[in-house]
């Protein structure tokens, strides 16, 4: 199956999404084609007995993970995964206790999600650590705040954060783009050892030779300017509560429902602030 998917990826995408209503089908097809390199990498990885796919909103990868890795049991958590052919555990991963016992999962897939979190990513990392077995493996990817594509945007007078626009749902954008150092800090604070932290280019964006040479000559870590950060980590310890490193949380706490945010929420709900 994986060989066919690799050789005829776009055909497989279109065949899979035939079940969708015609007015939304192209959106899902184009999204799966855009994420081709990342999806194929996820499918080519090895997984243990029970796997948590955290934060997915793509039925295509949810389906093929299960088909290619039939020896693993998968669970998917998402707050929004429409038209899924599989049951989805729908919770807010920034505030809810994950509905699984401690040490449940051998692997957690956490790709292209953490950049959408805007209130309490420390809670999310704490909870995913809790539900992982000792020695469990985490695979995480996220757009790189220091990627060369961000520099190209900067030079072209466009926003370095390509999804910084204002969406009806705040989490549809990328409220926080992460650096390699920030990911290392939050993961190590929550009981993970970093096995591998590198960058990867999942999308074909030309890197001008002059910019490549500049990065090689002047960057403090020339190898960490790819488009996406990619982390493989192992759970080595567990904590009793979330940790709020000052690098990310200067006040030592997550975003609070206060100030203008509280006034807006109260008005939207028609209650007194």
Residues 130-168: tens digit of each pLDDT: 999 999 999 999 999 999 999 999 999 999 999 999 999
CA 230 to chain centre: 10
Rounded alpha-carbon distances, angstroms, from residue 273 to 169, 185, 255, 256, 263 = 22, 35, 17, 14, 6
Tell whether the model's pLDDT for residue 85 goes beyond 90.
Answer: no
Beta bridge partners of 231: 140, 197
% residues pLDDT > 70 (the chain): 100
Q: What is the pLDDT of residues 107-120, one digit of tens each?
A: 999 999 999 999 99
Rounded mean pLDDT, 162-178: 94
Spans of all domains in the chain: 2-269
Q: What is the pLDDT of residue 112?
A: 95
The pTM for the full model equals 0.95
Q: What is the pLDDT of residue 86?
A: 87
Q: What is the pLDDT of residue 81?
A: 72
Q: What is the pLDDT of residue 8?
A: 96
Q: What is the pLDDT of residue 25?
A: 94
Q: Which two tokens stand for residue 89?
A: 């555990």
Query: Whole-angstrom Cα distance, residue 42 to residue 140?
Result: 10
Among 78, 158, 155, 71, which Cα is nearest to 112's? 78
Q: What is the pLDDT of residues 20-50, one digit of tens each?
A: 999 999 999 999 999 999 999 999 999 999 9
Tell whether the model's pLDDT for residue 228 goes beyond 80.
Answer: yes
Q: What is the pLDDT of residue 79?
A: 80
CATH superfamily, region 2-269: Vaccinia Virus protein VP39 (3.40.50.150)
Strand duo 105-111 + 50-54: pairing:
parallel
111 secondary structure, DSSP code: E
Contact residues for 268 (Cβ-Cβ < 8 A; gap 6+): none
């Amino acid at each position: 199956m994986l060989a066919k998917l690799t050789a005829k990826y776009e055909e497989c995408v279109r065949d899979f999404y035939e079940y969708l209503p015609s007015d939304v089908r192209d959106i899902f097809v184009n999204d799966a084609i855009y994420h081709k390199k990342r999806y194929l990498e996820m499918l080519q990885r090895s997984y243990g007995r029970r796997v948590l796919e955290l934060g997915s909103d793509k039925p295509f990868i949810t389906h093929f993970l299960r088909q290619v890795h039939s020896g693993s049991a998968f669970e998917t958590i998402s707050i929004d995964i429409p038209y899924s052919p599989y049951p989805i555990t729908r919770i807010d991963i920034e505030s809810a206790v994950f509905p699984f016992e401690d040490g449940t999962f051998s692997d957690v897939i956490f790709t292209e999600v953490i950049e959408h979190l805007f209130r309490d990513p420390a809670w999310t990392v704490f909870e995913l650590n809790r539900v992982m077995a000792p020695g469990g493996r985490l695979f995480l990817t996220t757009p790189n705040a220091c990627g060369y594509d961000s520099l190209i945007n900067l030079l072209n007078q466009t926003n370095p954060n390509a999804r910084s626009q204002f969406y009806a749902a705040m989490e549809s954008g990328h409220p926080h783009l992460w650096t390699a150092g920030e990911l290392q800090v939050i993961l190590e604070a929550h009981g993970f050892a970093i096995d591998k932290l590198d960058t990867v280019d999942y999308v074909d964006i030309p890197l001008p030779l002059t910019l490549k040479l500049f990065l090689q000559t002047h960057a403090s870590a020339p190898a960490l300017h790819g488009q996406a950060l990619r982390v493989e980590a192992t759970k080595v310890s567990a904590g009793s509560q979330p940790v709020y490193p000052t690098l990310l949380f200067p006040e030592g706490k997550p975003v609070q429902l206060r100030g203008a945010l509280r006034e807006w929420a109260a008005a939207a709900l028609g209650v007194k602030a």
